[in-house]
Amino acid sequence: MKPQIVRHGEAILKPCELPKEAILKEELDRVVVAHSETGHHHVLVKDKIDLSKYKVYTHNGDTYVEVPSLSKLIHEKTGSDVHKTHTIAPSVYKIIIKNEFDYFSGAIRRVRD
Amino acid sequence: MNLTTLVGQLGELETDMINSITKEQEAKIPEYIDKWVRIASEPLNREMSVKMVKELFGDVTVIIAESIRNGVDIVKFIAGGRVLKYDSKLRSQLYSQLYSQLYSQLDSQLDSQLNSQLYSQLYSQLDSKLYSQLYSQLDSKLRSQIDSKLDSKLDSKLRSQIDSQLRSQLPKEIRYSYYTTQFWMVWLGYYDYAQMIGVKFDKEKLQKMTDIVLSIPTIISLGKIMIVVENPLCRWENENIHSDQKPAIEWKDGTGFYYLDGVNFEKELWEKVVSHEMSLSEIMQIEISDQRTVALKYNPQAIIKENAKLIHKDDRTNELYLVENSEINKITEFPKMYFLKMTCPTGRVFIEGCPPQEAEKNPHAGKMQALLCGLHYSEYMEMTLES
C-alpha cells in the first residue's frame, strides 16, 4: 500500500521527507494526531501488535510522525457520526491541522473539535 | 500469586477454542451492550459500596456523594481552605487491584478460549459508548471540577455528618486522587457475553471484579476519607449521549452535564442551541467546530436569515457562500464574508470562515478547502482518503 494524503476531520496526514534538522520529540505506541475538546481524539494505532514505535518530530513549528508499520487512523467515538477509520501505510507524514478564518478576531486559527 | 500457580489454575479451566460465533449469537451483541449501559445508570447498593471500599483500602471513612458536584463540594468542605494536590497513588492502587489481580487473569482465560481474530472482532463491537463517551466524559469532568474554584455548598445534614474532628486531623496540604471504573464495565460486558457463547471463567474472580466495579463507579480519595459518587442517569440517542430537553448526564440532585449528539456544551450555550433561534453570528463565534456543527444542525435557518449567497459548489460537497450587507457584516466590520460549508460522509455539516482576500481572488469552493487544509489544489483533488 502506497503512502497517500489522508484527511480525518480537521487532521491531515501528508507523506513527506523528514527535514534534516527535525528534532525527535518522543517515541510512542500510539499517537494522538489531533486532540478533541470533547474527548473524541483522532488517534494513530498499529494494525498489529509489534515492538515498533511511532516517532514524533518537530521542525519550524511543524509536527511530523514516522509511521513504522501499517496503522489505522481512528476516531475515538461511537455513534453514527464517527469519522471513518483509514489505513495508513508506513512513511513519514507531516501532521496538518486544518485552519479557518475567524472574522471576529480577524485572524486565521486552527480548527478545534 | 506466583506464575506456576497461575498457570496451574488456568490449566484447570482450559476448554476448546471457540473459533466463530453463530448469527444468533452475533445478533445478541446489542442486547449485552445495552444491558451494561443500563447497569452504569443504576443506583448504588450503598452498603455494598462501603463494604467494598473498606475491603480494598482498610480502615477509612466512606462517604456517598449524590453527584460529582456534591462529591467536589464535599472535598472542598473537608479541605476547608487547605491546599489540594493531586496524587496518582490511589489511581495506581485501584488500577493495580483491577488489572493485575482480576482483569489480567480473566482476560487470559478469555484469550485462551477465543480464536484471536474473534477476540478482537468482538472487542471492537462490544467496546461501546461506555468507554468512548461515558467514561471519558466523566473522567475529564471530575478532574476539571475539582481543579476549579467552585465554592463548596453542602446541606446542613451532610455538614453535620462530616465530623469536625475528622477534618481537624487532616494535614495542611491534602493529597487527593480519583478514579472512574466505567471503562472496566466494558470488560464485564465482554465477559458476560463471552460466558453466553461458552467461555469459562474463574467464577470467584469474575464476581469479585463485578462487585468492585459496580460498587465503586467513581471514587475520590483524600487519604483516609473516601468519597464514592452515585451513578448518574444517562440519556442516549443514536448511540450518542444526548438530550435536547434535560442534562444528558443527570444526577438525582439535579446537577449534570449537557450533551447534544455526544458533544458537550455548557448549559448556557446548550440552551441557546436548542432554542432554534441562533443567528449565524452567534454560531460562528463558537470556537469548537463540533459544537458549531451541532448548533448549525439545530439552527439551519441561520444561514438563510443572513442572505448568504452560494458562490460556488464543487463535486466534493464543498459550497462557498458570500454574506454581505447583513447584520454579521456590521458586527465584524468585514463588508464581505466568505464561508465554506461542507457535508462530511457522516452527514454532519461543517461551516468555516475563509480568508476574505483569498476567497475574493479564488471564489472556488474546492480551492478554498485546499487552502484551509494546507494543501495545493492538485494535492487536495488527488486525495481519496477523506472523512
- Which residue of chain B comes nearest to A6, CA vs CA? B385
pLDDT of the residue at B271: 95
Max avg pLDDT among A62-71, A73-82, B21-30: A62-71
Cα A71 from Cα A93, distance rounded (Å)? 12
How many domains does chain A contain in total? Answer: 1
Residue B346 pLDDT grade (very low, low, confident, very high; cuts 50, 70, 90): confident
Residue A34 lies in a domain: yes
Q: Is B238 exposed, middle or buried (0-12, 13-18, 19+ CB in 10 A)?
A: exposed
CA distance A75 to chain B (A): 10
Contacts of A103 in chain B (CB under 8 A): 284, 328, 332, 334, 337, 353
pLDDT of the residue at B161: 60
Q: Nearest Cα to B146, choosing from B74, B195, B202, B214?
A: B74
Q: How far is CA B23 from CA B29, B93, B117, B336, in A?
A: 10, 41, 17, 58
Residue A49 lies in a domain: yes
Q: How many CB atoms lie within 10 A of CB A108?
A: 12
ipTM score over 0.95, yes or no: no
Residue A67 lies in a domain: yes
Does B174 score more than 50 pLDDT? yes
Q: Which of B29, B37, B132, B186 to mutate to test the interface with A (most CBs of A within 10 A)?
A: B132
- What does pLDDT average to over chain B? 82
Q: In one letter, which amino acid is B108?
A: S
Q: How many CB atoms lie within 10 A of CB B257?
A: 22
Residue B367 pLDDT grade (very low, low, confident, very high; cuts 50, 70, 90): very high
Does B84 score more than 90 pLDDT? no
Q: Nearest Cα to A73, choosing from A14, A33, A15, A26?
A: A33
Residue B3 pLDDT grade (very low, low, confident, very high; cuts 50, 70, 90): very low
Residue A48 lies in a domain: yes
pLDDT of the residue at B41: 87
Assign A82 to helix, strand or coil.
coil
Does B43 score more than 80 pLDDT? yes
Residue A15 lies in a domain: yes
Residue A1 lies in a domain: no
Q: Domain containing A27: what range?
A: 6-110
Give mean pLDDT, residues B148-164: 58
